[in-house]
Amino acid sequence: MSNPGDADAREITSLKDLAAYLESGCKPAQDFTIGTEHEAFGFHRAGFAPPAYEGGGGIGALLQAVRARDGWAPILDQGNIIGLKGRGGASLSLEPGGQFELSGGMLTDLHATKAELDAHIARLHDVTPGLGLGFAPLGFHPVATRAAMPWMPKGRYKIMRAYMPKVGTRGLDMMLRTCTVQVNLDFTCEADMVAKLRVASALQPLATALFANSPFHEGKPNGLLSNRAHVWGDTDNARSGIPAVIFQDGFGFEAYADWLLDVPMYFVYRDGVYHDVAGASFRDFMAGRLAALPGERATIGDFADHSTTAFPDVRLKTYIETRGADSGHPAMMLAQSALWTGIFYDPAALAAGAALIRGWTYEQILALRAAVPATGINTAFGAGTLRDLAKEVVAIAEAGLKNRARLNASGQDETLYLAPLREIAGGAPSQAEHWLERYHGAWSGDVTRIFEEAAF
């Protein structure tokens, strides 16, 4: 989730202004970049409890330690440091339950993404021992109850905390007990955006299956492989899932903006304060009819903030975010970025992806999305399973990355980052299946063993 402070004060005069804002992200293919965001659960090494914000071993102290080490600029919310801005557009931020997130810079290739991730892990290795903390990237907290999770002091989270139980049964779990990894990628024009959004949306159930990494709930197996994806099934369906509009004729920037206008609001940010307008209409805000802020009219900056409060599996901003994966092992984080970079950034690969999903119905896609939290890569699909589809999709991504021909210092191209996905597609266990094997074997039923084994 974003940090406060989009300063674009241009007033919105019509839906076309919003479409133009989204369209402003168009750029030439030679300028395409890759941005990776990933979250991890903090834990106290003594006892594995999630750290609060306050205290010498808290998340606030962690941010101060990183600030002292790297000189990153603090991001404040009512005087509390709730994030850090680094170089090259990178930042560190907090999810509601203290999940620690690196929002990476927009980089030119996956080799730079790996270097950024390696630097982030080295940073944590430097600062966490003195705080008694560790960090484990998993899709759902494996042991903590909802009540045991702390709340971070961000104004928007207070508003969401009050609103979520009104619109779904699992919204607070989404906020407090889930972690994800996503990749942010570019488009050249509206037609390119539409093709990418449709391919990515149709294939998100496969991504959820490949990256499933949350088979535990409060210390026991939960009967699922991606509890994170299951939670999203009843968080707030007015703003999440796979919107039908993406697959409708005439879809484009204006149609997506129009869909966003019907997503209920959470807040308006003014002068450092989050004003609670949860459930209000952004259309009313555009017309100056918000009861909580009479006469106040929406700006482009307000729309940019509002776009961060919609949670579809693939989200459009001035770039595209693919959001259907559980957080996981660093190699899997890189594989998630490699999968979508390979498909998106080579025209032949994107065309192959579009051909692959041609003929799929929206209802079939939704049915897959509903099935994969439980059955993962073994979900029935066509005459086989999603593992068969994975082989095709990974091959498309591999061809796309080969065509990009971006080499590291050792002369290797970016296809090396797809290795974990090739293994799963070929029959290896997913991350969730691996942890279940450990639980029933070497761990003898002790889920806390996952913290040390999964930690960065």
User: What does residue 314 show for φ and ψ, rounded to 5 degrees?
Assistant: -125, 120
- State the pLDDT at residue 3: 44
Q: Which fold has domain 29-196+203-243+314-454?
A: Creatine Kinase; Chain A, domain 2 (3.30.590)
Residue whose pair of structure tokens reads 């999709």 in the numeric block: 393
Nearest CA-CA partner of 19 in 194, 185, 184: 194
Q: Where are the beta strands (DSSP E) in 86-166?
A: 91-94, 100-103, 133-136
Question: Cα–Cα distance between 133 and 143 in angstroms, integer?
Answer: 16
Tell me 264's DSSP state: P
Coil, helix or strand at residue 9: coil
Degrees to nearest 5, angle at CA 70 with 112 and 129? 100
Q: Tell me, what's the pLDDT at 446?
A: 98
Per the prediction, the chain carries an average pLDDT of 97
23-62: per-residue pLDDT in tens?
Answer: 999 999 999 999 999 999 999 999 999 999 999 999 999 9
Percent with pLDDT over 70 in the chain: 98
Of 95, 97, 99, 92, nearest to 64 (Cα)? 92
Give the pLDDT confidence score for residue 441 in this predicted structure.
98
Contact 165, 93 (CB under 8 A): no
Give the type of residue at 35: G
Query: What is the distance between the alpha carbons of residues 47 and 45, in angstroms, rounded to a whole number?
Result: 6
State whether the Cα torsion 173-176-177-181 is positive or negative. positive
Residue spans of the chain under pLDDT 70: 1-7
pLDDT for res 4: 45
| pLDDT score, position 87 | 87
**Which of 179, 184, 225 is CA-nearest to residue 205?**
225
What pLDDT does 5 receive?
45
Return the SS3 of 74: strand
CB 447 within 8 A of CB 220: yes
For 407-451, the pLDDT digits (tens) are: 999 999 999 999 999 999 999 999 999 999 999 999 999 999 999
Contacts of 66 (CB under 8 A, 6+ apart): 72, 84, 92, 123, 127
Neighbours of 191 (CB within 10 A): 10
Return the structure tokens found at 329.
Answer: 């092992």
User: What gap in Å lies between CA 194 and CA 189, rounded to an integer?
Assistant: 9
List the chain domain ranges: 29-196+203-243+314-454
Cα separation, 91 vs 173, in Å, equals 24
The total of other beta-carbon atoms located within 10 Å of residue 350's CB is 19
